[in-house]
Amino acid sequence: MGMNMNFIDNWIYQLDDVLAVDGDALPVPSDAIARLGLADGVAYTVVFSAALAQAGGGVFEIAHVIGGAGGGYTLQRGREGTDAALWPAGTLVMATVTAAQLAGFGGGVDDSGWVTLEPVGGFVYPPDARRIGGVVYLRGFKWIDLAQLGEPLAQLPVGWRPAQQFYATKPIGDRIRRMSITEDGIDGAGMIFIDHVNGPTASDYFEFDGISFPVG
């Protein structure tokens, strides 16, 4: 299906009902859909997030809403390196412009597809990464041993590294862990670390899904 990407100001709503992983219709008020004017091929990018209003964001999903014949529409889930997720009622959904779209203005967007990063120091569970235009996305639910906290776990390839030190903090049960990536242009650039922030120290999983950053 071809699409003509459109943009709209101040289109932000809460889901009226649960949106399943395979859900193909937006549970939002009918007037919200009407505002999009979804003629055949007219498309919008929307983002689902439980933390749109929080600094630093959180887990999110990008989707495309594409108008069809007869006033219907198609909801394409898990776009631009994100995965389709189950979103509860009350989740915020917003029409927006994504980093990958901005990076692609004026030309096509290069998409590397998902690749497994090079492990470092004997780490056996490196996350996957994907570069779309000028943005790198991470994914994976990986086991981090206690002894590996604060040690380099994997390295991003040249051209995939942030211009400045990058941080992303996530809760893991009753503890908080922080991922950091060393900036480009230094020795050890592009190294990924997981650090303990607070709560009980223990081996546990870390979720890389939903983490993205612009390359330097």
Structural domain boundaries in the chain:
12-105, 111-214
Ordered per-residue pLDDT tens for the chain, 216 residues: 456 888 888 898 999 999 999 999 999 999 999 999 988 888 999 999 875 444 344 678 999 999 988 778 999 999 888 889 999 998 889 898 887 777 666 555 678 889 999 999 888 888 999 998 888 999 988 888 888 888 999 999 999 999 899 998 887 777 788 899 999 888 889 999 998 777 777 788 888 888 888 887
Task: Decide: pTM greater than 0.75.
Answer: no
For 115-143, b/e burial (b = at least 16 CB within 10 A) is eebebbeebebbbbbbbbbbbbbbbbebe
Which of 141, 140, 152 lies closest to 204, judged by CA? Answer: 141
